[in-house]
Structure 1
């Protein structure tokens, strides 16, 4: 999954590079920055930084990560928030993310983890900081193969628009059936898993003429899309897409199948048919499915916005 939102301690996450927000002289600014210096080994990281300062706002430089789980620490000076220069603030913050990811790719990093840059001591409102971060990351991974993690502590960081959250809540209220009230038919078997997904619904379809892979390739041709467009829009990595495409009998997870349906901009009915080929179905007894159904019904295929809402409801993201 190229872009993932996680709740974690950035000093403990295992990635090739983590990003540290610093001042212009590359010194720590408290909060997450202080924690990174401490976990890496304060004196070691400080000496490494002293060889590289000063840096300008939005510039990014790279050092060893020393005692951290990552290989590198990428240091960037995020902008200090001021209401009178909001457009400039957003542009500089956008560049902080882009420049940090450039440093990672230049050093052959396959994964990078960000805190929410400038949202602490530098005063950037979290809802605005999230929008800029998501925009920069989406733009960058469109042309680069790197896994990006946005590390946050709580759901409060994600302030989705009141209208969208209100519409989603209304849809859930109207359509969600408590998971303790499940109706079983002769053709359905519902079971719960303890890993990535709470529940999955399977239907037995012995007479399907085409495999999931064949159906996917046909839909890509019908939509006049490229493979790269599809797996990028689905927020899945190239290797997984290649496996699905080239192994005729390969069965993806339900979440992956849904992500591909969103990437292909399938309607709700088309998505149900598409999932059926892989022996999955959408259920009103699963909150995750109801949220997905809301977006399909409203033809909103922005997988990153979908993930923001899923995250705010403590659901697995695509």
Structure 2
């Protein structure tokens, strides 16, 4: 290998560059240099704290944590009324990474989530709960805001407005 390098013209060119034997370390105390002609913003501790607090929890992990919390608060909660065990399992195993708005509304009612928890559930899935965005969201959002989780009552109103019901057999 040494013989190859010695006979190689590339090695001669590198020697002609007369590079220093040791390259000085990059100082870490200095401000970062600009990028593409723009100065980088100053370090903002509030922004840094906010970025660090962003949850890395997946939708499935979040749903599982919510389910466990709600079952502790109300052991008689019937979570399988609106959603099958296999549907819950898809989230837990990461096979269903986003869900659908309709499915998330079913989860919100099954777990008796309040509006804040429902909105966070939607954001974790990449959606936004828009209470006046569709009749489905308006009806279910209304009942959630009133803390009324009677599935049959909600479904009666959904059928009234020709919307898919929460109970799978009624749709």
TM-score of the superposed pair, with normalisation by structure 2: 0.57
Q: Which of the residues 302, 308, 317 maps onto 2:156? A: 308
Structure 2: distance between partners of 1:210 and 1:280:
16
Bigger Rg, structure 1 or 2: 2
Structure 2: distance between partners of 1:240 and 1:300:
23
CA deviation digits over 1:160-191, x for unaligned, max 9?
xxxxxxxxxxxxxxxxxxxxxxxxxxxxxxxx
Deviation at 1:267, TM superposition (A): 0.8
Q: Which runs of 5+ in 1 are unaligned?
A: 1-206
Give the number of the structure whose residues are more often strand, by fraction.
1
CA deviation digits over 1:102-142, x for unaligned, max 9?
xxxxxxxxxxxxxxxxxxxxxxxxxxxxxxxxxxxxxxxxx
Q: Which residue of 2 aligns with 1:231?
A: 80
Q: Are residue 290 (structure 1) and residue 138 (structure 2) matched?
A: yes
Q: Which runs of 5+ in 2 are unaligned?
A: 1-53, 167-171
Deviation at 1:285, TM superposition (A): 2.8
Structure 1: distance between partners of 2:64 and 2:84:
17
Deviation at 1:249, TM superposition (A): 5.8
Structure 1: distance between partners of 2:63 and 2:80:
11
Structure 1: distance between partners of 2:67 and 2:133:
31
Contact 2:97 2:125 in 1 (8 A): no
Q: Which residue of 2 aligns with 1:213?
A: 60
Quickly say closer, same or farther: Cα 1:211–1:310, change in 2 above 3 A.
same
Quickly say closer, same or farther: Cα 1:246–1:229, change in 2 above 3 A.
farther
Contact 2:109 2:151 in 1 (8 A): yes
- What is the number of equivalent residue pairs in this alignment? 110
Structure 1: distance between partners of 2:86 and 2:109:
19
Contact 2:114 2:144 in 1 (8 A): yes
CA deviation digits over 1:232-271, x for unaligned, max 9?
2xx1222222212222662211111111111111111111
Contact 2:90 2:96 in 1 (8 A): no
Q: Which residue of 2 aligns with 1:111?
A: none
Q: Are residue 277 (structure 1) and residue 109 (structure 2) matched?
A: no
Poorly superposed stretches of 4+, deviation over 3 Å: none
Q: Which residue of 2 aligns with 1:267?
A: 114
Equivalent residue of 2:126, what SS? coil
Q: Are residue 258 (structure 1) and residue 105 (structure 2) matched?
A: yes
Q: How does 1:106-255 map to 2 (within 5 A)?
A: 208-223=55-70, 224=72, 229-232=78-81, 235-247=82-94, 250-255=97-102
Give the number of the structure whose residues are more often helix, by fraction.
2
